[in-house]
Amino acid sequence: MRGWRSLYRLPAVCVVLATGAVGAWIIGLVHRNPLDQRCARARWVHRVTPWISRAVGASVTSRTAIGAVPTGAGMTVANHISYVDVFLIAAQLPVVFVTSTEVRDTPVLGLLCRLAGCVFVDRRSARALRTQIHELAALMRDGVHIVVFPETTTSHGNTVLPFKAALFEAVRLSGRPLWVACIEYPATERRTAAYVDDDTFAAHLSLLVSHPGIASSVTWIAHEPEPARLDARALAQWSREAVVSAMAGAPSE
């Protein structure tokens, strides 16, 4: 049965990804202004990602524990388990993802990230990172909603790694609000969903499309309308504690 699923799901994933890539490439030809191009690509990815989720067999439940969901410019931070997380969040609203320069140079994923309008940061260079923080702040001031995975890597989903504080400075400088989301997969499906260790994109995708289906949830668990009142380290700690509490079933503050 797994083989049969792969036979129809894998071509569907390829078709949807190719459609998304071609659409993003066309947007790059139509919109020459970098900001307009990035915003148009974010809207396009928002439209395409539900189809990608269906193709890989991932269903998503979106909910809020705080009576509100993100709208407009700002930053969302979340725990990170898999590249599937990107599809889940992008389906909620048009966003621009922040990822590493290492991902930019990865075959397939790097190309897709470039076409999606991702911002690439080099955490190995303090000087480059300072410049990129100001660029991210400028994007938010210009109306863009940024998504950061501050663990800076993926996990198996049964724990939350430390949140790196550096990029929280961008939302402080922007004057825009900070949102915190918790991404979860059922315990029985975490191994299939998790993109970790030495997994290659092709091998993990093959595993994913052969699975009966992956249930997932995105829950908005915390909101700080004035992040500048805290320093970056405090924001990172507060955000991580909110995610840890949500995963443990405790109410967020």
| C-beta separation of 164 from 152 below 8 A | yes
Query: SS3 of 213, please?
Result: coil
The pLDDT score that the predictor gives to residue 47 is 96
- Order of all β-strands in the sheet with 214-224: 58-64, 214-224, 178-184, 74-78, 145-148, 96-100, 119-121
Q: For residue 172, how many other CB atoms are within 10 A of its CB?
A: 20
The pLDDT score that the predictor gives to residue 232 is 97
User: Quick one: tokens of 48?
Assistant: 């395409």
What is the block-wise mean pLDDT of the chain (253 residues), using blocks of 10 residues?
70 92 96 95 96 91 90 96 93 94 82 92 90 96 97 91 97 97 91 84 86 90 95 97 85 45
Q: Cα separations (Å) of 160 from 73, 103, 183? A: 26, 21, 11
Domain chopping of the chain, boundaries? 2-247
User: Quick one: tokens of 92?
Assistant: 């909620």
pLDDT in tens, 55-91: 998 999 999 998 888 989 999 999 999 999 999 999 9
Q: What is the DSSP letter of 108?
A: T
Supply the pTM of this predicted model.
Answer: 0.91
Nearest to 26 by CA among 128, 124, 18: 18
